[in-house]
Homo-oligomer: A and B are copies of this chain.
């Protein structure tokens, strides 16, 4: 039932090389106090045997795992897929691997995820916070941590590296484009759980104000965590309130809106959303979208975490990336 991997260990290398394990360790880690000659001999044997030091044995003393923990809040969301892709790639480049966990917009799951990841002694953590007021300081302890997409509770934000995008102006751009394309009664569907969702709602309001469009609270829908009601909301926006434009604050909500538009045969409704995928270019219903720099976010998240692993005392900074409006229609 239980079985051992017949791994080559440092002992065998030592024996083969006719030296002590301490000497092998020195050769292995390029430590001083070893002659060039011995080092070469040992290294030759290491490559010959394909020996790889046991990461777990090493970890017991070193706490070095070359593992990065990534916690996203919604695995079905295009944005997170893209960012996680970028994280994986960038981490791989640096010789790190990533363990990804899904918090499902649930603070309790997020807490558990952090615990699991710390349990694996990840060298760093990259988190899309579910944005309740979790006590991240105590949760992550001294594990270098970077937040993205959503800021941790505002008062703590300054203590962690945080990567955000300009949600307000992105949403403003998108809604403005809707207006420019002729929409005058625009509804919004946004997520109430994330800072991102709230900010996008602000952008919506700004665009309306800018174009002197009346503000109608009935057109503002904030979906719950599970977005169960999103379909009803979309329905009301179209049927009850006769909107001629809808801004879906993320692509999961967009899907719901498109579904409803199709169902009700309303091809003339103008639609805008946050996030972008290559598929959007082939839609019947043109979709105005706001493209986030997902690759940059993922890469920078890894870079920041790596930097902080090296220098844990670095002052934390928050960066906001600008977004790009993609006009269609």
Interface residues of A (CB under 8 A from B): 1-6, 52, 54-57, 59-60, 62-63, 67, 75-76, 81, 85, 88-89, 92, 97-102, 115-121, 141-143, 255, 258-259, 262, 277-285, 310-312
A54 contacts B60, CB within 8 Å?
Answer: yes
B142 contacts A55, CB within 8 Å?
Answer: no
A262 contacts B282, CB within 8 Å?
Answer: yes
With A97-B101, A101-B97, A121-B56 already in contact, the answer to whether A282 and B281 are too (CB < 8 A) is no
Contacts of A115 in B (CB 8 A): 52
How far is it, in angstroms, between the C-alpha of A70 and the C-alpha of B308 when the chains are bound? Answer: 28
How far is it, in angstroms, between the C-alpha of A85 and the C-alpha of B85 when the chains are bound? Answer: 13
How far is it, in angstroms, between the C-alpha of A63 and the C-alpha of B88 when the chains are bound? Answer: 25
Contacts of A3 in B (CB 8 A): 142, 312
A102 contacts B89, CB within 8 Å?
Answer: yes
How far is it, in angstroms, between the C-alpha of A312 and the C-alpha of B1 when the chains are bound? Answer: 7
B101 contacts A100, CB within 8 Å?
Answer: no
A–B complex contacts, Cβ < 8 Å, 15 sampled: A1-B311, A1-B312, A5-B121, A52-B119, A54-B60, A60-B60, A67-B120, A81-B81, A88-B101, A97-B99, A97-B101, A98-B100, A258-B282, A262-B282, A282-B283
| Closest beta carbon of chain B to A57's beta carbon, Å | 5
| Closest beta carbon of chain B to A222's beta carbon, Å | 23
How far is it, in angstroms, between the C-alpha of A285 and the C-alpha of B278 when the chains are bound? Answer: 14
A119 contacts B278, CB within 8 Å?
Answer: no
With A60-B57, A283-B284 already in contact, the answer to whether A120 and B92 are too (CB < 8 A) is no
How far is it, in angstroms, between the C-alpha of A54 and the C-alpha of B120 when the chains are bound? Answer: 8
Q: A92: which of B97, B102, B259 is its contact (CB, 8 Å)?
A: B102
Contacts of A119 in B (CB 8 A): 52, 55
